[in-house]
Amino acid sequence: MPKTIIFILCVFFTSIQYGQSLSSVIIDSVSKKPVPYVTVQLNNKGMITNEEGRFKFLLNENIAETDSLFISCIGYASIGKPIIEFTDSLIYLKPKAIELKEVIVSNKEYTPREIIEMVEDNIEKNYHTDFTKKRLFLRETYQNNIIKTDYQIKKSTINAFNKNFLDSVISTVPKNNTYYTEMLGDLYGGGDADEQKLNLIKASELYDKSKDLDLEKLEEKFNAIVKNNIKTDSYFKIKSGLFGTKIDADEMGDIFQEEIDSTDYAALNKKLAEEKKNKEERRKFFSQYKRKTLGNLFENLPIFDGSDYNVIFKPKRYELSLKSFTYLGDEAVYVIDFIPDGSPEFKGTLYINSDDFALIRMDFENTEPLRDFKLLGVSLNEYLAKGSIIFAKGTDQKYHLRYYNIIKGIRAGFKRPLSIIEKNKNVRGRRKQNELALKVDAAFGNINRYEVVVFDENPINEAQFESFKENNDVLPTYMADYDPEFWKGYDIIEPNQAIKEFTSEVELTD
């Protein structure tokens, strides 16, 4: 795949047919570097550039060549002109210098706290805080890493469970893996995470299935070892130090289940019915998970009381400083830095319109771990949570969420003795049959990223929300390699180069 990608502007000067697109890269005219997270609007439909400055707009039969494209970003002069005039694959934004004599000359010189109080006072005027319908795209990126996998065998009464076998287990587990999932849909709801409904339109999964293949083979080997060495009416006691958990043998998955005879039609029909039920449950789970993810993100918008990023509603908990002024187009913008005063929270920067006191952007980052749990050798450290939230003004004079980006980092550790003990109450004498005792020292790390772009948002009433029925029939389509055709005909946030170049080591079929 070529490393240099040229984006061609597909604008036709006669008629614009469905399926054509307008794509480009937005560049800083001075530094010649791409400008990320630029708001691009066409006919009141919003788009955002990715971190590489790229965007693509689907052009349908309702769009005319004379319709205007508006491009805006804090600190740059805005652009607005008919799409027929965009004839280059690169669009240059000019940084806009600050002229203090022109900044907020007609306004009172507010303190940072007074500015934030004005933001809170004007929330109902500036934003839709009740039920809305939002057409949006969600991309989630999960990067998993195994940091450490040390162990010592203290005791094993099953010869097959030896150091060679456990070493093979560790060597089989992928040391790192990346998983992408994307979805397009309509979200119905407001600022309550529990009051959301989702209509899924399309979804995809992009990951390397071959990294799961060896694990499946290993599971088969493990199951065979267990099946040949334990009794079907046994149960297991999993102990780690002071803690113990009982697991019945029938909870060990398919270890004790016989193969289904292809001539046994009743068994086959039962198996097919179970598979159908599992698929339906997976549909339901996928929709529920995405709805919950989106609900939690929207509930945490800084315009809602109770948000983790609560500087607007609790400014007294922060040290505030008016850093500077900047522009969004021709509109002056306050730039306010906030740092928590005492308790570990978030620090960051607020960009506030000086005319209507609307928050148009928040950049934030945690100052200390959000969770740092250590108890008896088990640890969990949520050390990173940073991102950006961007709002844009629509033709209804309301501000709408345009882009939400958050990156979370977690490290987990387990340094404890671990024992798996087979017991059987139907055997005379000691109930204890077999034991595998280990001393484990393992550590894991995850970097998770959530990106939401909202294309349009329209208010709805409570009756419309209640009457809407969710669509749980959409399952994500699996892709072993990135497929540029999968989202053809749909507006999404452009994938970055890492996604475009993603390929599986071994392509598998379902």
How confident is the prediction along the chain (510 residues), in pLDDT tens digits per residue?
333 332 223 333 223 333 477 889 999 999 999 999 999 988 878 899 999 999 988 887 778 888 888 999 999 999 998 988 887 789 999 998 766 555 555 456 789 999 999 999 999 999 999 999 999 999 999 999 999 999 999 988 888 888 888 888 788 788 888 999 999 999 999 989 999 999 999 999 999 987 765 656 666 777 777 777 777 777 777 766 545 555 554 444 444 444 444 445 566 566 667 766 766 677 678 889 999 999 999 999 999 998 999 999 999 999 999 988 888 888 889 999 999 987 768 999 999 999 999 999 999 999 999 889 898 888 999 999 999 999 999 889 999 999 999 999 999 998 989 888 888 877 776 777 888 888 999 999 999 999 999 999 999 999 999 999 987 788 899 999 999 999 998 989 999 999 999 998 765 444
Please name which of 20, 68, 19 lies closest in space to residue 43, comparing C-alpha atoms. 68
Using an 8 Å Cβ cutoff, are 183 and 134 in contact? Answer: no
Query: In the numeric block, which tokens belong to residue 345?
Result: 């929270």
Identify any residues that bridge with 138 across adjacent strands, giving them in sequence order. Answer: 183, 452
Q: Under DSSP, is residue 411 helix (H, G, I), strand (E, B) or coil? A: strand
* C-alpha–C-alpha distance, residues 488 and 470, integer Å: 24
Return the number of other C-beta atoms located less than 10 Å from residue 62's C-beta.
9
pLDDT for 165 = 83
Please name which of 42, 396, 377 lies closest in space to residue 241, comparing C-alpha atoms. 377
Radius of gyration of the chain (CA): 28
Using an 8 Å Cβ cutoff, are 12 and 76 in contact? Answer: no
pLDDT for 255 = 42
pLDDT for 91 = 92
* C-alpha–C-alpha distance, residues 473 and 282, integer Å: 10
Query: In the numeric block, which tokens belong to residue 466?
Result: 């209640």
Phi, psi of 22 (to 5 degrees): -115, 115
* C-alpha–C-alpha distance, residues 205 and 221, integer Å: 28
Q: Under DSSP, is residue 409 helix (H, G, I), strand (E, B) or coil? A: strand
* 438-452 confidence digits (pLDDT tens): 899 999 999 999 999
Q: What is the 3-state secondary structure (H, E, C) of 298-330?
A: HHCCCCCCCCCCCCCCCHHHEEEEEEEEEEECC
Whole-prediction pTM: 0.82
**Left, alpha or beta for 214 (phi > 0: left; psi -120 to 50: alpha)?**
alpha
* C-alpha–C-alpha distance, residues 473 and 275, integer Å: 15
Q: Under DSSP, is residue 480 helix (H, G, I), strand (E, B) or coil? A: coil
* 203-214 confidence digits (pLDDT tens): 999 999 877 656
pLDDT for 427 = 76
pLDDT for 472 = 75
**Residues 15-20: contacts with CB under 8 Å, at least 24 apart:** 16/59, 16/60, 16/61, 16/63, 16/64, 16/65, 17/61, 18/59, 18/60, 18/61, 18/489, 19/58, 19/488, 19/489, 20/58, 20/59
Residue 136 identity (one-letter amino acid)? L
The H or E element containing residue 116 is helix 112-121
- 391: Cβ contacts below 8 Å, ≥ 6 apart: 127, 358, 359, 360, 361, 399, 400, 401, 402
Helix 163-172, helix 210-229: angle, nearest 10: 150
- 379: Cβ contacts below 8 Å, ≥ 6 apart: 373, 411, 412, 413, 414, 415
Query: In the numeric block, which tokens belong to residue 418?
Result: 């671990």
Domains, the chain, ordered by start = 1-97+480-510 (2.60.40.1120), 132-312+349-479 (no CATH)
* C-alpha–C-alpha distance, residues 184 and 215, integer Å: 31
Residue 98 identity (one-letter amino acid)? I
**Left, alpha or beta for 306 (phi > 0: left; psi -120 to 50: alpha)?**
left
DSSP 375: E
